[in-house]
């Protein structure tokens, strides 16, 4: 190595060191600036009374955002409400009121949740000619979508017919706080309506605290009320059934104020056996997973329990039969996403137009 090479290396190494030190300096300054911006944003949110938090419930998540003058975070109180709610309606809790009903001939119910959700379920059961039926639980278990572990064998037609004899909400009777069943083996499953009802319960809690601008969501079922301090609407999305990543792609954007939306679909919860696909929506009429072109339906209603139940009923019925029911119902609207000749299409009732965000896709 001659003196020129040594001299050049002696000049390069300090230069590289200086550049590295300068880069670290810039990175630290940018990091400090980012922290300052985050703190400023948080302070701005606190000044506006903006509160946001999320958690787990009903085997899924909840997400709550609201504006309040006192900036009080009610997450602990809401978690307590949800514990009581699940203790009444969760089939995954052995000591819950619904589990006790399912395992006994009669059950005394103390909470207000069980009676309220059963009463509304009866109304929608009748309005949909039995397409929405919470006594579907034995068939849901038989097809491997319930709280029983799925087996490799599909239920036989004989098994399906025997379980269909247990599916009819009229078989559940009530006398004051005593609930009983007219046939042994009848079981209730409120999973098609519980998330929506849970959203309603939480919105009632927030309103009892004087909060009027909020977005409450449980597993996609949502109620929005009021507007943000800027006057902007709450914006949510209807998921693209072609998306394999949960919440990753939005098919259309929706703006909501004083309205509930609930969606039901067969594009995510299913399994395949012997080359055939079995979706989680079970028809009370056939006792089998539904097979039609409808991929998902989102229902708009004044309360989320109603939206949730009708969304399930419409997935059972399919698009055309669902539209006939919608012709009779003035307070509910629907957005359908369906497969026609391997092409994804959408259709919605006239009442949905007011909720669509321009260029929403």
Per-residue burial over 196-220, b if 16 or more Cβ lie within 10 Å, else e, is bbbbbbbbebbeeeebebbbbbbbb
Element spanning 153, H or E: none
For 4-8, 33-37, 70-74, which range has the lowest pLDDT when averaged over its residues? Answer: 4-8
Query: Do residues 111 and 88 lie in contact, with contact meaning Cβ atoms separated by under 8 Å?
Result: yes
For 14-18, 141-145, 174-178, 191-195, which range has the lowest pLDDT when averaged over its residues? Answer: 14-18
Can you identify the CATH homologous superfamily of domain 50-361? ApbE-like domains (3.10.520.10)
For 32-36, 114-118, 138-142, which range has the lowest pLDDT when averaged over its residues? Answer: 32-36
Tell me how far apart the alpha carbons of residues 359 and 179 are, in angstroms, rounded to a whole number.
50
Query: pTM of the predicted model, to two decimals?
Result: 0.83
User: What pLDDT was estimated at residue 7?
Assistant: 41
Phi, psi of 5 (to 5 degrees): -65, -40
pLDDT at 263 over 90: yes
Average pLDDT along the chain: 85
pLDDT at 36 over 60: no
For 304-320, the pLDDT digits (tens) are 999 999 999 999 999 99
Token pair listed for 67: 């504006």
Q: Which candidate, 161, 124, 154, places its Cα nearest to that of 275?
A: 154
For 187-236, the pLDDT digits (tens) are 999 999 999 999 999 999 999 999 999 999 999 999 999 998 888 999 99
Give the 3-state secondary structure of residue 343. Answer: strand
User: What pLDDT was estimated at residue 276?
Assistant: 74
Query: pLDDT: is 270 or 59 the higher one?
Result: 59
Q: Could you state, in order of their start, the residue ranges of all structural domains in the chain?
A: 1-39, 50-361
Query: pLDDT: is 150 or 351 the higher one?
Result: 351
pLDDT at 238 over 60: yes
């Amino acid at each position: 190595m001659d003196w020129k090479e040594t001299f050049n290396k002696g000049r390069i190494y300090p230069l590289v060191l200086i550049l590295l030190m300068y880069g670290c300096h810039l990175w630290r300054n940018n990091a400090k600036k980012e922290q300052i911006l985050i703190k400023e944003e948080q302070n701005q949110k606190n000044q506006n009374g903006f509160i946001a938090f999320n958690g787990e419930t009903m085997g899924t998540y909840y997400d709550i955002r609201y504006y309040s003058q006192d900036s009080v975070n009610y997450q602990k109180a809401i978690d307590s409400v949800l514990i009581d709610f699940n203790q009444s309606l969760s089939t995954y809790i052995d000591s819950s009121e619904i589990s006790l009903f399912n395992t006994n001939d009669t059950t005394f119910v103390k909470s207000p949740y069980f009676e309220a959700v059963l009463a509304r379920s009866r109304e929608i059961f009748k309005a949909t000619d039995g397409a929405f039926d919470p006594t579907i639980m034995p068939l849901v278990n038989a097809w491997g979508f319930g709280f029983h572990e799925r087996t490799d064998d599909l239920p036989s037609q004989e098994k399906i017919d025997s379980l269909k004899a247990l599916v009819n909400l009229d078989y559940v009777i009530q006398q004051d706080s005593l609930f009983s069943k007219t046939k042994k083996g009848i079981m209730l499953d409120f999973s098609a309506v519980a998330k929506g009802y849970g959203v309603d319960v939480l919105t009632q809690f927030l309103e009892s605290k004087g909060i009027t601008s909020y977005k409450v969501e449980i597993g996609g079922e949502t109620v929005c009320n009021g507007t943000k301090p800027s006057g902007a609407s709450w914006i949510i999305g209807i998921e693209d059934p072609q998306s394999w990543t949960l919440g990753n792609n939005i098919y259309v954007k929706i703006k909501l104020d004083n309205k509930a939306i609930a969606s039901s679909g067969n594009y995510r919860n299913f399994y395949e056996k012997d080359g055939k696909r079995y979706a989680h929506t079970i028809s009370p009429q056939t006792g089998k997973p539904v097979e039609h072109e409808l991929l998902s339906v989102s229902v708009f209603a004044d309360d989320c329990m109603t939206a949730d139940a009708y969304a399930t009923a419409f997935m059972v019925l399919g698009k055309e039969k669902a539209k006939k029911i919608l012709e009779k119902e003035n307070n509910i609207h629907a957005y359908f996403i369906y497969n026609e000749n391997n092409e994804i299409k959408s259709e919605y009732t006239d009442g949905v137009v007011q909720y669509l965000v321009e260029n929403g896709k």
